[in-house]
């Protein structure tokens, strides 16, 4: 029996070969291959765990260790690792980093939208952040002249309590058991003497958050004699001498926002002050508030969308 001897052979790929469909289940081993031009593939089908598809810059699956610039689509990504320098990361939705370590380098690398110049971020204790104004403290002075008969006056600042007031009559400091404080109203046990200058100094301890806070707000005062749209952190001294007026509350509020309204001329029994809820609620009710008490002075503090603006310092 004779043996069939197979001699080594080579293929000269000098011409162009077109492979319509190639199904290779084994390995292709090449010793020396000069392929001349680039081999380009536009679409890959993987095994379902690595590549699901690559289409332009959109990555819809997990791409092993591939370094691909693009946008991650589909389900939320629990972990994202950048090999090298991450120049930009934009996330739509909430970012929860509880228990995770995040290194940002210089603080200038962190940019968060919203807020105003010199505001700071504060937490509600449950992880939600909001912008707040820097706290300030101011001294407010009210000056009156005694006539020997009046004992009650309305201050232009509401003390946190009586310990935040200093009172002098005719230049003489008064002990705190000589008067009482109820909201913005000071009441003397005895009427100041006729012609005596009465000075009431109120320490207004500031707090951030647009005018709210337990420590007391940093207020801006505004004297109004026409219908007015209120801004959180303002105290409105209302001229009710000649006409009814409407103070319209902000359309939306943040927990702790405060607005104060004072009947400056003491005529609200004749010319009422209407507090317009502006689509929100007052004391949990979907109705406006009408003030008809002379010398009324009160604060409205925002709680939430269910309860709206609540009365305090009445």
CA distances from 222 to 10, 105, 228, 245, 277 (A): 96, 45, 10, 14, 19
Instruction: Judge whether 282 and 258 are in contact, CB under 8 Å.
Output: no
- A 10 A CB-CB count for 20 gives 4
pTM score above 0.75: no
CA 313 – CA 45 distance, rounded (Å)? 70
When pLDDT is cut at 50, 70 and 90, the band that residue 313 belongs to is confident
Q: What is the pLDDT of residue 70?
A: 60
Sign, Cα dihedral of 74, 78, 82, 86: positive
Report which of 238, 243, 242, 245 is spatially closest to residue 224, judged by C-alpha positions.
238
Q: What is the pLDDT of residue 216?
A: 44
Instruction: Judge whether 145 and 197 are in contact, CB under 8 Å.
Output: yes
**What are the DSSP calls for 279-304, one per residue?**
TS-BTTBSS-EEE-STT-EEEEEE--
Half-sphere exposure in the Cβ direction for 98 (13 Å, CA): 5
- Mean pLDDT over 43-60 rounds to 47
- Range with the poorest average pLDDT among 20-24, 55-59, 100-104, 310-314: 55-59
Q: What is the pLDDT of residue 243?
A: 93
Report which of 231, 282, 303, 288 is spatially closest to residue 260, judged by C-alpha positions.
231
- Range with the poorest average pLDDT among 39-48, 100-109, 253-262: 39-48
- Mean pLDDT over 145-171 rounds to 90
Domains and CATH numbers, the chain: 39-111 (no CATH), 143-203 (no CATH), 206-314 (2.60.120.640)
Q: What is the pLDDT of residue 256?
A: 83
Instruction: Give yes or no for residue 31 having a pLDDT over 90.
Output: no
129-166 b/e (C-beta count within 10 Å ≥ 16 → b): ebbbbebeeeebebebebeeeeeebbbbbbbbeeebbe
């Amino acid at each position: 029996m004779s043996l069939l001897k197979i001699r080594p052979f080579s293929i000269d790929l000098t011409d162009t070969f077109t492979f319509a469909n190639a199904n290779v289940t084994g390995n292709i081993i090449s010793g020396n291959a000069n392929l001349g031009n680039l081999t380009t593939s536009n679409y890959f089908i993987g095994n379902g765990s690595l590549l699901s598809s690559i289409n332009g810059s959109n990555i819809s699956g997990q791409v092993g260790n591939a370094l691909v610039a693009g946008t991650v689509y589909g389900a939320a990504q629990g972990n994202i690792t950048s090999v090298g320098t991450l120049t930009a990361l934009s996330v739509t939705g909430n970012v929860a980093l509880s228990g995770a370590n995040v290194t940002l380098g210089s603080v200038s690398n962190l940019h968060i939208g919203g807020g105003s110049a010199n505001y700071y971020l504060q937490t509600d204790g449950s992880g939600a952040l909001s912008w707040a104004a820097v706290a300030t403290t101011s001294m407010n002075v009210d000056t009156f002249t005694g006539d020997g008969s009046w004992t009650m006056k309305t201050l232009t600042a509401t003390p946190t309590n009586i310990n935040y007031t200093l009172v002098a009559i005719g230049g003489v400091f008064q002990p705190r058991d000589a008067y009482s404080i109820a909201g913005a109203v000071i009441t003397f046990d005895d009427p100041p003497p006729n012609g005596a200058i009465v000075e009431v100094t109120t320490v207004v301890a500031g707090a951030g958050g647009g005018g709210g806070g337990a420590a007391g707000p940093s207020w801006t005062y505004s004297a109004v004699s026409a219908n007015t749209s209120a801004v959180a952190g303002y105290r409105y001294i209302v001229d009710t001498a000649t006409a009814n007026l409407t103070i319209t509350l902000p359309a939306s509020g943040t927990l702790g926002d405060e607005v104060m309204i004072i009947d400056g001329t003491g005529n609200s029994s004749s010319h009422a002050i209407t507090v317009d809820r502006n689509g929100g609620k007052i004391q949990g009710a979907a109705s406006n508030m009408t003030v008809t008490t002379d010398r009324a002075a009160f604060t409205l503090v925002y709680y939430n969308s269910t309860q709206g603006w609540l009365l305090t310092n009445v």
